[in-house]
Chains A and B, each alone.
Chain A
Amino acid sequence: MKKISIVGIGETVMGRHPERSLHDLVREAGNKAIEDAGIDKKQIDALFIGNFNSSYLCGQGHMGPLASEALGLENIPTVRTEGACASGSLALRMAMLGILSGAYKIALVGGVEKMTHQPGATVTSAIASAMDCEHEAMQGFTFPACFAMMANRYFYEYRNVKREMGLCAYNAHQNGLLNPDAQMRKEFTLEKILSAELIADPLSLFDCSLVTDGAAFVLLASDDVADGLRSGRRRVDIIGQGHAGDTLTLAAKDKITSFSASRAAAAQAYAQAGVGAADIDLAEVHDCFTITQIINTEDLGFFEHGKGGDAVAEGITALRGKKPINTSGGLKSKGHPIGATGLSQIYEIVTQLRGEAGERQIAKADTGLAHNLGGTAATCVITVMQGR
C-alpha cells in the first residue's frame, strides 16, 4: 500500500464540558491538529468527521459543514460518518480511501460527541439506537446488557474472569492518571472496583466505559506531501488498515465470545502492513466494557482465545508489561466521546510513536495498533501505524 502519513494530531481534554458547544470542541481539536502539522488551512482538500448521535443528543445534524465552518475551511467537501462507536475511525477509513484514490492529498479527519448534558437514561437510549431497535432494544437490551451477556457466555465457555476484568479497569485508571487529557484521573483499588454496584450482571460500574464530551482530530497527508512538511520529529505512517462488519443483532452472530468483524479487519490490516500480532509494540483496543478488552486482545492475536484474562493477571497488558494495552487510559479512564473515540485512540498511538507521551511513554514504541469497534461488534476498523 502507498504510505499515508499522520502529520498532525489534536484533541480536547476528555470529560464533562456542559458549557462547551460542538463547534467549540471541534474548533479546539481541529485547530490543534492543523497547527501541529504546520500547514496552511488552504491546503486541506477535504474534511471527514465522525459523529454518532448529535441529532438525538444535541438536536444537531449536518455535522460536516458545522465542522468546516467552525474551522474556517470555506468550500471544501465534507462528509459525516456514522458507525456507532466506530464513527471516528470510519472517518479515518474514508479519508484514507480518498487519498489512496488520488482525489485528495491532504484530508482533515475528526470526531466529536457531546453527551454529558443529558440524563443517564437518555444517553442509554441514544446509545441503544446503535443496536437493532426492533429486535433487541425493544426486548429491553441495553449496551451494558449486551456485553454482560457476552461476559456470561465467556464465563461459560472458558472461565470466570470477573477479577481480571477488574484488573483491566485498574490498569486503565493507572494509565489515565498519567494522561493530562483523560477524563477520570483517579486511582481506585481493585477491591473498590470489584465491589461496585451492578449495572448489568456481571458488569458492575467499573466494567463500563465513561460518558464523555470531547473531540479528536488528525491530519492525513499523502507520502509525497508529508515529505515536504517540517521535520524535526518522528514521522508516523499508516502502514495497514482493515475494515469489516458483522450482523447488527447480537443474537444472529455465530459466536459472541470472539468477534468475526475484528478478526477479519485484523487479517486485512496485518496483511497490508506486513506485520503480525507479535510485531505490535502497543495497542489501543476498544474497551467499551472490560470484557470487550479481553476479547479484543484475543481477536487481535495477542493471546489465545480464552487466555486474554490470564495475560491481564500476569501484568502483560499493563503500562510496563510486554504488550501494553490502552496506555492512554482507554475508554474506561481517558473517556468515550463516541464519535471521537476512534481518533482519540489514533492520537495516543501517534503520541507514543513520536516519543511524546511523557510519564506514560513506553520504552519501545515503533509499531502501534488502534482497534475501534461499533455496536455489538457489528463494525470494526483496525489501523496499524509505524514511526520512522
Chain B
Amino acid sequence: MDKAKIYTYSILFASTEEFKDRVPYLTAILEKPDGKRFASLIAGWNAGTRVEIGQEVHSSGTDAGGQSVYSL
C-alpha cells in the first residue's frame, strides 16, 4: 500500500468557496519515503483524532481526477 508521512498539517475551521462546506477538515504536506513532498487533503479525520508530525498515512484510493487520496 502506498504510504507517506505527515511533514506538517493543519485542521481548518474556515475555507474557500469550494471547500467551506467541508470544515473542519485536515490538510497536510506529506513526505514519501524518497523525500518528495506534496500537498494532500487527508480523509478520516474527526474532532478529537490525534494527528502529529511523522505520523504515517496510507493511500485509500483515488479521487475523481485520478489523484491518490490519503487517509489517517
Proximity string of chain B (14-55) to chain A, C-beta cutoff 8 Å, 1 when within and 0 when not: 111111101001011100000001111100000000000100
Measured CA separation A125–B14 after assembly (Å): 11
User: In the complex the two chains form, is A200's CB within 8 Å of B11's CB?
Assistant: yes
* A33: interface (CB < 8 Å): no
- CB contacts under 8 Å to B, within A147-175, are 148-150, 152-153, 156
Residues of B within 8 A of A125 (CB): 16-18
User: In the complex the two chains form, is B22's CB within 8 Å of A140's CB?
Assistant: yes
User: In the complex the two chains form, is A250's CB within 8 Å of B16's CB?
Assistant: no
User: In the complex the two chains form, is A121's CB within 8 Å of B12's CB?
Assistant: no
User: In the complex the two chains form, is A149's CB within 8 Å of B8's CB?
Assistant: yes
User: In the complex the two chains form, is A141's CB within 8 Å of B39's CB?
Assistant: yes
* A197: interface (CB < 8 Å): yes
Set A128, A139, A148, A156: member contacting B39, Cβ < 8 A: A139
Distance between B58 CB and nearest chain A CB, rounded to angstroms: 17
* A379: interface (CB < 8 Å): no
Question: Which range contains the number of A residues in contact with the other chain?
Answer: 20 to 34
User: In the complex the two chains form, is A140's CB within 8 Å of B15's CB?
Assistant: yes
User: In the complex the two chains form, is B27's CB within 8 Å of A139's CB?
Assistant: yes
How many chain-B residues does the 8 Å CB contact rule pick out? Answer: 25
* B60: interface (CB < 8 Å): no
Measured CA separation A62–B10 after assembly (Å): 37
- Given A150-B8, A156-B8, are A142 and B14 also a contact pair (CB < 8 Å)? yes
Measured CA separation A128–B12 after assembly (Å): 14
User: In the complex the two chains form, is B13's CB within 8 Å of A199's CB?
Assistant: yes
User: In the complex the two chains form, is B7's CB within 8 Å of A153's CB?
Assistant: yes
Measured CA separation A256–B9 after assembly (Å): 12
Measured CA separation A135–B13 after assembly (Å): 21
The residue in A138, A140, A149, A251 that gathers the most chain B C-beta atoms within 10 A of its C-beta is: A140
Interface of chain B: mostly helix, strand, loop or mixed = strand
Set B8, B17, B25, B37: member contacting A140, Cβ < 8 A: B25
- CB contacts under 8 Å to B, within A185-202, are 197-202
* A249: interface (CB < 8 Å): yes
User: In the complex the two chains form, is B27's CB within 8 Å of A145's CB?
Assistant: yes
User: In the complex the two chains form, is B39's CB within 8 Å of A136's CB?
Assistant: yes
Residues of B within 8 A of A79 (CB): none
- Given A140-B25, A149-B27, are A200 and B39 also a contact pair (CB < 8 Å)? no
User: In the complex the two chains form, is B27's CB within 8 Å of A141's CB?
Assistant: yes
Task: List the A residue with the shortest CB-CB distance to B13.
Answer: A198
Residues of B within 8 A of A122 (CB): 17
Task: List the B residue with the shortest CB-CB distance to A137.
Answer: B16
Residues of A within 8 A of B38 (CB): 135, 251
User: In the complex the two chains form, is B20's CB within 8 Å of A249's CB?
Assistant: no
Measured CA separation A362–B12 after assembly (Å): 39
Set B9, B12, B18, B40: member contacting A144, Cβ < 8 A: B12
User: In the complex the two chains form, is A121's CB within 8 Å of B10's CB?
Assistant: no
* A61: interface (CB < 8 Å): no
- Given A251-B29, A252-B37, are A153 and B8 also a contact pair (CB < 8 Å)? yes
* A274: interface (CB < 8 Å): no
* A21: interface (CB < 8 Å): no
Residues of A within 8 A of B17 (CB): 121-122, 124-125
Measured CA separation A250–B18 after assembly (Å): 20
* A120: interface (CB < 8 Å): yes
Residues of B within 8 A of A148 (CB): 10, 12
The residue in A122, A145, A198, A249 that gathers the most chain B C-beta atoms within 10 A of its C-beta is: A145
Task: List the B residue with the shortest CB-CB distance to A146.
Answer: B10
Chain B positions near chain A (C-beta within 8 angstroms): 7-20, 22, 25, 27-29, 37-41, 53
Interchain residue pairs A-B with the least CB separation, the first 3: A148-B10, A153-B8, A140-B41
Task: Sample 30 A-B pairs with CB under 8 A, ordered by A number.
Answer: A124-B15, A124-B20, A125-B18, A135-B39, A137-B16, A137-B18, A139-B39, A140-B12, A140-B19, A140-B22, A140-B27, A144-B12, A145-B10, A145-B12, A145-B27, A148-B10, A149-B9, A149-B27, A152-B10, A153-B53, A156-B53, A197-B13, A198-B11, A199-B14, A200-B13, A201-B10, A201-B11, A203-B10, A251-B37, A251-B38
